[in-house]
Each structure stands twice: as C-alpha cells, then as structure tokens.
Structure 1
Amino acid sequence: MDTRPPKSTRIIPCDECPLCRNDSFRNFEGNELSYISGFKRGELVAEGGSTIYVEGSNSPHLYTVISGWGFRYKTLEDGRRQILNYVLPGDFLGLQGSLLTEMMHSVEALSDILLCVFERDRLFDLFKEQPGLGFDITWLGAREEQMLDEHLLSVGRRSALERASYLLAFIYERAKLVGLFRKSAVITPLTQQHVADTLGLSLVHTNKTLRKLQSRGVIAWKDAGFVIKDIDALMKIAGWEGLPEGKRRFI
C-alpha cells in the first residue's frame, strides 16, 4: 500500500472548477461560490495507488474529488479487504472523521485524483454561515448511506451473477453522469480483484462470474478494466432500475 501523502498542485479558481461546468451538478446560488472560494485551501493530487485516508487516522483536511476516482474500504487484521463504495468526481471525503474524530475506513486512489482541499476545523462555521451549503453536505451524507444500503442488499441477497451485474452497472451509471467516459464506456483501472473485494467473493468465483457475463455479450474485460457493451442487459440481470434522477449537490 502506497501511503505517500498527496502532492500540492496549482490553485483552480472556483468559477473555473470542472464540476461547476458539469450539468449533472446543481448551480450555486447567491454568494455560495464566493464563500466556497474562501473556505477552500487549494488542491492536492493523489497518485493512483496512493492512500488518501487511513482507517484510524485523524486528518485535518476534507476533500471534494474534482477528477479521477478511487474507493473506500475496510480491512480485517489478516489483511482481507472489503471495498465499501467507489469515489468519483463530486464526492466529499472525510466527513466521517470530522464527526467521529477518526476515520473508520480508508480511501485509496484508483487513478490519479485531483482533490479540492478544505480545513476540517472550519466545517462548523460553514453550517452556521451557509446553511444551504450545510444542507448540501447533509445531502451527500444521506446519499452515501443510500448507496451503502443498496450495496448491502446486493451482497446479502443477490446471486453472484446479479451482484457483479449490479456493481458494473452502478459504476457505469455514476461514471457516465460525471463525465468520466470520453470515447467509450471503459471502466478502468478496475481489476477483477477490486470486483472480488467489493462483492465479497473469491477471485476464482469472481472470474467465473465475469466470464458468464462476457459470454452473454454484456461486458468485455481488458487487463485492468471493463467495457460495458449492454448496460440495459446488466441492469435487467441485476434487477436494478438505475440511479435516481435530479441534480447532484457538492461543495
């Protein structure tokens, strides 16, 4: 595990933030953007494979993901890993550590990630001075809980084939909304090990399950990624209706 800290990088004016130019996210109102500009402390780059938060740590920073993606996870003492959810642009990181003193999970970068940095000890000021932005943070926490509910249902009650279909459809839908796909719907650098650690299956069982999906023509996989060939078929196999409609909130 790479535990090198993220690297400092340039300052991006808030009115030039890629998230503000993405139609999937809601528009700021009144003086919210100028407030966020003062609340923000810059950007950091976390290289793919590096650790952004370590379970049990107490970081002074909160982050919004501007670009790239990663995952949240927990580990047992013997090193076995459970991936809890995936981190994509617009996601807010570190709230758990702000409210519970220390992080109860770790966060790792899958690709290079550009992070917008905020100071944790100023979070309460934001709630007092900008209740609308405070609601956005509450919305983000509720949305994360909603996704974890669906993931728990999937691990607990869906078959292996349904679980894999749900996971790939879920990541595809989220990535498409935030513009991670450019020329084709390739989920990369996701590996079969990541899938196994998310689904709670052995790597052998995961490989067999993914081969079944590939034989049906709904996915194809490369060395470190998956090509989604038929999203409707994936959703049908999973028995999943997709993400709720509406603009996403972020800070």
Structure 2
Amino acid sequence: LYTVLSGWAFRYKLLRDGRRQILNYLMPGDLIGLQGSVMGEMQHSVEALSPMLLCVFEREYLHELYRNHPGLAYDITWIASREERMLDENLLSLGRRSAIERAAYLIAFIGSRAKVVGLNGSQSVQIPITQQHIADTLGLSLVHTNKTIRKLMDRKLIVWRDGGCAVSDNEGLKRLAGWEGLGEARRPLI
C-alpha cells in the first residue's frame, strides 16, 4: 500500500488483445494498492507519467491502523469514497457526454485535482499526458481524440505541448462538460 507523495501516474486495465482502459489518474495524496490490501489482489495496473516519490505502508498492518488510529482510518475511507465518486462521474462521461464534453471533463477534472494538491504552483496546470492517454481514458480512437483536442485548443481552453496539456481556462472546460467541479471542502493527506 502506497501514498503518492509526488509525481503523476495512472491506473489501468488491459484486455487480452492489448487494448488499454485508463481508469483514473494518480497524484499526491492518492493511495495505490488499497484494493489489493483489502481484497487480496489488485485487478488493475499502475504506470508512472513522471518521476514519483511514494510512501510505503505494510499492508498487513492495515487492520491495525483501522483499529488503533480511527482518524487515519476515516481518511482512508474518505479517499476510497472519493475514488468511487470520481468513477461515477467517469462512467457518466463515457455513457452520456459527447466526445468534446468528455475531453473537457477529463482535462478539467485532472486540472482541478492537480490544483487542489498544489501541482501547478502559481502557473497554469501542466498535465503530463499524451493524446493516447486521453483516447485510452475516454474510449475514443486516437484520430477522434486528436480532432477533439483541436476543438478545445480552438476554443482557447487548453494548449497542447510536447510534454502534455496546459489548462488555459478550467472554468470554460467545466462549463463545456456540464460539470460543477470537485466540491471537496476537506482533503486528507495520508
């Protein structure tokens, strides 16, 4: 069980034929391996998008942590509940949003999370992803993703660079996606 202290990563699953579905993006404060610690085995993989620093928790002590440190136990439960909430929104995106709304939501979502944990400093959020990552998250072809990203750029909502995506107008992305934002008043850091 790990806590991300710095860096970016993503959780994903692969189909037998090699197709990848990115499930979520990880950044400081997120847990890696909670599913495996509770269920015995992780049903997904994790890949780093940048250099990362992780804090290791021995998973056999997780039950002891819940028993002896209720404040930390609550924080872990909060993080797991937030993950469920994020996955609900991602499922809504895949099922009902148009391609441009999906892309706007995804970039606004990642940008908002990065801002909450201070990954952008005083500058615009720089997200270290490729168009392939976006395609694999949204279930779109790379060609469709490229055209969709171009539309977001034309609206001056994002800037695409070799190292990824810079958010120019997070509020505009949220409006386009029909998303109200994270709404997190308190975010624990374990």
TM range (shorter): over 0.9
Match for residue 156 of structure 2? 217
Aligned length: 190
Tell me the CA shift for residue 90 of structure 1.
0.4
Q: Is the 8 A contact 2:115 2:125 kept in 1?
A: no
Matched letter for residue 204 of structure 1:
V
Of the three residues 103, 107, 117, the one matched with 2:46 is 107
Q: Which residue does the alignment assign to 1:155?
A: 94
Residue 119 of structure 1 corresponds to 58
2:18 corresponds to? 79
Deviations 1:163-187 (A, max 9, x none): 0000000011000111111352242
- Would you identify which runs of 4 or more consecutive aligned residues in structure 1 move more than 4 Å? none
The yes-or-no answer on 1:128 pairing with 2:62 is no
Structure of greater Rg:
1
Pairwise CA distance, 1:228: 1.2
Using structure 2 for the length normalisation, give the TM-score.
0.97
Cross-structure match for 2:135: 196
What secondary structure does 2:54 align onto?
Answer: strand
How well do the aligned residues superpose, as a CA RMSD in angstroms?
Answer: 1.0
Aligned to 1:96: 35
Secondary structure at the counterpart of residue 24 of structure 2:
strand
Given the alignment of the two structures, is residue 242 of structure 1 paired with residue 181 of structure 2, yes or no? yes
Task: Tell me which residue corresponds to 1:70.
Answer: 9
Could you say which residue in structure 2 is the equivalent of 1:165?
A: 104
Taking the aligned partners of 2:69 and 2:143, their CA distance within structure 1 comes to: 50
Whole-Å separation in 2 of the counterparts to 1:245 and 1:199: 24
Secondary structure of the structure 2 residue equivalent to 1:213: helix
Q: What is the SS of the residue equivalent to 2:22?
A: strand
Name the structure with the higher helix share.
2
**Contact 1:186 1:225 survives alignment (8 Å):** no
CA contact (8 A) 2:127 2:165 kept: yes
Identical-residue share of aligned pairs (%) = 64
C-alpha contact 1:137 1:250 (8 A) present in aligned 2: no
